Amino acid sequence: MHLKLIMALLCFGYCSPAMAREAKEYDKDVQYDESRLPAYDLPPLLVTSSGHPVRTPEDWMRVRRPEILSLFANLIYGKVPEPATPIKVSYELAQEDRGFMGGKATRKDIKIHLENAKGRLSMHFLVFVPNEAQKPVPAFFKHSFNNTQSNDFDASTSRPGFLKNGWPLGQLLDRGYGFCAVYQQDLVGHNEVEFQNSIHKLFYPEGQSFPKAHEWGVLSACAWGASRAMDYLETDSDIDHTRIAIMGHSKMGKATLWTAAQDERFALAISAQSGCAGAALWRRKSGETLKKMVTRFPYWLCRNAWKFVEQEDDLPIDQHMLLACIAPRPVYVHSATEDTWADGRGEYLSAYHASEVYRLLGKKGLTSMELPEVGEPIIESQVGYHIREGGHSIEPWDWNRFIDFADFHLQAK
């Protein structure tokens, strides 16, 4: 069976013994041994590319942050070009259920239509609002693997308070939050390689039919879509769009960080096991590496990123700088002991190094290079973190910590 297909199936939880053997093969030269990782120097956060020290919050916000965002856009995730012709956006309330979950919530199914002379695409955006709470409510916003049109979103009868797909909607509603979700594949395929029917087609000028080397890959397209959903939220008076916690798991954690780094309207970001191209540092080369990623998912990033395969030290950026672009807004990073593919230690170190910028902006960050104890979350710092026992998933315990973090930083606002 083709390796890419196997890995895609594994990603979605399907695994036969033969596939597991082949996946192990793929995993063969992955380094997990801390003592064998390469030594590295991270590019400095607080020195501009022309060599000037960044001394003030203004230097950071006006000079260094835009410089870093431009490097991430051009070298890692890909830049969104100007559309071929202006895109007309319209919102349709396709369905509204005021009695969702036994009357606890209102569910709105919103269609965000995007259209220009080159074509038309629609995103299906789910919004749940607690009926009892005073409006507008703060909300969690999920970059989701689940198709937002499926009936996975029905309330589960076997686990009260949960949706069939495991989202703890009841708990979020009880704690005063709304919940929204965008589906990763509405605008671009999971492992898109053609870019003919994706959102990209609305952006190609005459004669172009594939993204250029510095133009947007899959993760950038997901991030762009989340910003269009935020445009909608700005028009919805049930939701307080100034208190949105964006979050996502794994690939969607990567998309979350890139979305929040660029779009300052998101008030808080949660990276759940985002790993390689998410929170983890490139230069550690532990668990999934750039080479592994672009082999299996060639266009999650832009093509320019390929040039740094096994040349990570030449990158003028590393992932701590992405987290720093979210500052001063709170960011939370979640890892798990057995999720070594995502390099929990690399995720923590990224958050630790990004903290330098949080401190420059007058906020609290992480102060130790040592990971906290397993199961002991850091909540009362603008840079939060936890690592728990177990593998690659979001467990109810993780959700509780995310809500604690949002309570601490958003409810008090």
Could you list the active site residues? 250, 392
Which of 146, 250, 319, 350 lies at the binding interface for ligand GCU (CB under 6 A)? 250
- Closest approach of Cβ 3 to ligand GCU, in Å? 12
Pick 64 or 143: Cβ nearer ligand GCU: 143
141, 247 Cβ separation under 8 angstroms: yes
In angstroms, give the least distance from the CB of 1 to ligand GCU: 17
Q: Which is nearer to ligand GCU, 146 or 250 (CB)?
A: 250
Dihedrals phi, psi of 367, to nearest 5 degrees: -115, -5
Using the minimum distance from each CB to ligand GCU, give the nearer residue, 10 or 84: 10
Distance between CA atoms of residues 373 and 333, nearest Å: 14
Using the structure block, give the residue that is written with the tokens 């589960």: 156
- C-beta of 249: minimal distance to ligand GCU in Å? 7
Task: Report d(CA 326, CA 349) in Å as an integer.
Answer: 16
Candidate residues 143, 200, 251, 409; the one interacting with ligand GCU per rule CB under 6 A: 251
220 neighbors 211 (Cβ within 8 angstroms): no
Task: Give the count of beta carbons closer than 10 Å to the beta carbon of residue 103.
Answer: 10
Residue 409 tokens, joined: 């930083």
Alpha-carbon distance of 135 to 375, in angstroms, equals: 34
Does 276 bind ligand GCU (CB under 6 A)? Our answer is: yes
Q: Over the Cα atoms of the chain, what is R_g?
A: 21
Q: Which residues pair with 385 in a beta bridge?
A: 333, 378
C-alpha closest to that of 75 among 218, 204, 216: 216
Q: Which of 9, 11, 71, 361 binds ligand GCU (CB under 6 A)?
A: 11
Nearer to ligand GCU, 16 or 367 (CB): 16
Q: Are 142 and 179 in contact (CB under 8 A)?
A: yes
Q: Is 377 in the site for ligand GCU (CB under 6 A)?
A: no
Q: How many residues bind ligand GCU (CB under 6 A)?
A: 8
With beta carbons less than 8 A apart as the criterion, state whether 82 and 103 touch: no
Q: Which is nearer to ligand GCU, 289 or 381 (CB)?
A: 289
Binding ligand GCU (rule: CB under 6 A), the pick from 217, 275, 330, 365 is: 275
Of residues 276 and 406, the one with the C-beta less far from ligand GCU: 276
Least distance from ligand GCU to the Cβ atom of residue 270, Å = 15
Is residue 343 near ligand GCU by the rule CB under 6 A? no
Least distance (Å) from ligand GCU to the CB of residue 11? Answer: 4
- Reduce the DSSP state of residue 203 to 3 states and report it: coil
Give, in degrees to the nearest 5, the angle at Cα 292 between 291 and 297.
100
Q: Segment 65-124, which members bind ligand GCU (CB under 6 A)?
A: none
* Shortest Cβ 252–ligand GCU spacing (Å): 7
Residue 351's H or E segment, with its range, is helix 344-360
Residue 288 binds ligand GCU (CB under 6 A): yes
Sites of contact with ligand GCU (CB under 6 A): 11, 250-251, 275-276, 288, 293, 341
